[in-house]
Amino acid sequence: MEYLVVHFPRSRRVVIDDEFNGRTEEVIELEAGRHVVSLGPPNNFTPVQQTIVLKNTAELEPREVDFDPLPDASQDQLDCRLHPVSRVARLYPLLRQCGKDGKPAGTGVPLQFRGGHE
């Protein structure tokens, strides 16, 4: 048996190999080998996931994995809306754009569409 502790500033469910398995800051027991570690929602942390190899750990000396909150994640809420996109409407009738205040994530620019779609 191997041991893991996942760190995050707030209590969060831990996802290991696509299944919930414990909480942050608790020792989690796992089989030795390769595992993909992430956190449960909300998705306001980085990195999105980490791949680790567990071996030679002990309950008092677990492997430690850190996740960091995204900047301003505690203060800003994401505004996700469905917006029609005329140019690709034949293939994708709706394109999901997520960002703050109706702006695409990471751009700081308001959404604008040609052809009368807003």
* Residue whose C-alpha is closest to residue 1's, from 24, 26, 27: 27
**Residues 35 and 52: beta-carbon distance below 8 Å:** yes
**Residues 95 and 36: beta-carbon distance below 8 Å:** no
Q: State the CATH architecture for 2-69.
A: Sandwich (2.60)
Residue 21's CB is within 10 A of a number of other CB atoms, namely 17
pLDDT digits (tens, 9 = 90+) for 32-58: 999 999 999 999 999 999 999 999 999
Sequence ranges of the domains in the chain:
2-69, 77-110
pLDDT digits (tens, 9 = 90+) for 59-68: 999 999 999 9
Residue 65 confidence (pLDDT): 97
- Phi, psi (degrees; rounded to nearest 5) at 100: -90, 140
d(CA 46, CA 9): 12
- pTM for the whole structure: 0.61
Is pLDDT above 70 for 100?
A: no
Residue 71 confidence (pLDDT): 84
